[in-house]
Structure 1
Amino acid sequence: MVGVLSKLWNSWYGKHLQITATVTFAFGLMFIYSVIHLAFLQDIEGWGDFTAVSIVMVVISGLGLFIVAPEFLHLKGKANVINELMNLTSTAELRRRQAEGDDAARDLGGMFVDKWGNFLQEKGLKMRR
């Protein structure tokens, strides 16, 4: 089962940031709505029937956030590194931190590799292997 999930995840290379952002947002929304229900709505007539569902949703969304949110934050940090490096005006600083940008682009894949490669090409540099 893990091998199948790993192959599926690797086949989406280049889309990991978007996928983790969407899933983190969805779990976060589920968590917030469930907590709101448990805090305010369960005592209102007609809403008390959904308390068990809300408790289950809090547990599921909490576990989902626990698993997905760290990966999203890691990938978002890599994207921020690329954006930060692309805003540098000093060529010496860019050369010093180029390996950091190369690693971030490779980890993110897809459009980030193209964006980073084009940026380096404009600056007269090449992406390291």
Structure 2
Amino acid sequence: MARRDDRNLGFFGRLWESQRGRHFQIVTNVSILSVALLVWGIIFLFGLSGPTDPSKENIVTLSWIGMLIGAIGTFYVGPEFFFYLEKKQVLDDILLLDSRAEVLRRRKEGEEAAIMLGSKHMSLMRGLLELHEIPVGKNLTNSPIIKSHSDINVEENWWNNSNSVLSRKLPGLDILRELFFHRMLILITSSSLIVLFWNTIFGIASMGGSRDYTIDLTERISGLSSFHHLAPHIDPVSIILILFLTFILYLTRPYNFKEI
């Protein structure tokens, strides 16, 4: 019966099934991309009045297409993302359990969530079962062993700890667990925030020999000929960037299982 069902699947259905262990990663990445396209389209087309700016005529069509694709992707993939995210939260709660009896009670629920989320989560669930000397089901037997949350010593040093909240929240971005890229992300976000704050408060542009003019990013992106203002000066795009970069920098903090 299973083989007959597999044959009845179309090309994309078979391709999706072949990536069963990576569904959460794929859904997460598509959701992020869809939301980004949707937000960009809304900001550019309605917030910055892109269609009325002749200098931006070449990207108006692309922005409309991107916003449409983003809206469709968000509508269809968004609910799936939250479904998988709920399963991940369930598994995280189970991995924090210290009671063998409680682990036994929620074992089936944890195994189902782990299998749905992929091999890494299956490995964590297997590690928890073996820690409490509970027989591992056949579905988890072939997964490699990874220490459970209760075994991991969280180093509190932000700079030297690549096991960040961001790397845990975004499956598929394992590159962020490499110390070099973790530090690069901290440096880039921190430097960008310093420049944005300095531009907003003190100004970074020079006019008439005095470097105390703020570059209005909203007006700059809109293509206006004059986008310098005497500091301090605030504009919407700068505020959005500051909030976004601050949030990203905050997510680079060490992952704390009890907190999350």
Please tell me the TM-score bracket, short chain as reference.
0.7 to 0.9
Please state which structure has a larger fraction of its residues in helix: 1
Match of 1:21 among 5, 20, 28: 28
Match of 1:69 among 56, 75, 78: 78
Match of 1:125 in 2: 134
Task: Report how many aligned residue pairs link the two structures.
Answer: 129
AA in 1 matched with 2:33: A
Structure 2 matches for 1:82-121, cutoff 5 A? Answer: 82-121=91-130
Q: CA deviation at 1:50?
A: 3.5
State the distance in 2 between where 1:83 and 1:26 align: 25
Structure 1 outlier segments of 4+, above 4 Å = none
1:11 aligns with 2:18: yes
Greater mean alpha carbon deviation, residues 24-33 or residues 68-77: 68-77
The one of the two structures with greater contact order (alpha-carbon pairs below 8 A, sep at least 6) is 1
Larger radius of gyration: 2
Q: CA deviation at 1:91?
A: 2.6
State the distance in 1 between where 2:134 and 2:49 align: 59
AA in 1 matched with 2:22: K
Q: CA deviation at 1:109?
A: 2.7
Please state which structure has a larger fraction of its residues in strand: 2
User: Does structure 1 conserve the Cα–Cα contact (< 8 Å) formed by 2:38 and 2:70?
Assistant: yes
User: Does structure 2 conserve the Cα–Cα contact (< 8 Å) formed by 1:85 and 1:94?
Assistant: yes
Task: Flag structure 2 segments of 5+ consecutive residues without an equivalent.
Answer: 1-8, 139-260
Deviations 1:59-78 (A, max 9, x none): 21100111111112111211
AA in 2 matched with 1:35: I
Q: CA deviation at 1:90?
A: 2.7
Match of 2:38 among 31, 36, 60: 31
Q: How many percent of aligned residue pairs carry the same amino acid?
A: 27
For residue 20 of structure 2, give the secondary structure of its aligned residue in structure 1.
Answer: coil
State the distance in 1 between where 2:113 and 2:81 align: 14
AA in 2 matched with 1:126: P
Greater mean alpha carbon deviation, residues 40-49 or residues 81-90: 40-49
AA in 2 matched with 1:122: L
User: Does structure 2 conserve the Cα–Cα contact (< 8 Å) formed by 1:30 and 1:58?
Assistant: yes
Q: CA deviation at 1:19?
A: 1.1
For residue 10 of structure 2, give the secondary structure of its aligned residue in structure 1.
Answer: helix
Q: CA deviation at 1:22?
A: 0.8
Task: Flag structure 1 segments of 5+ consecutive residues without an equivalent.
Answer: none
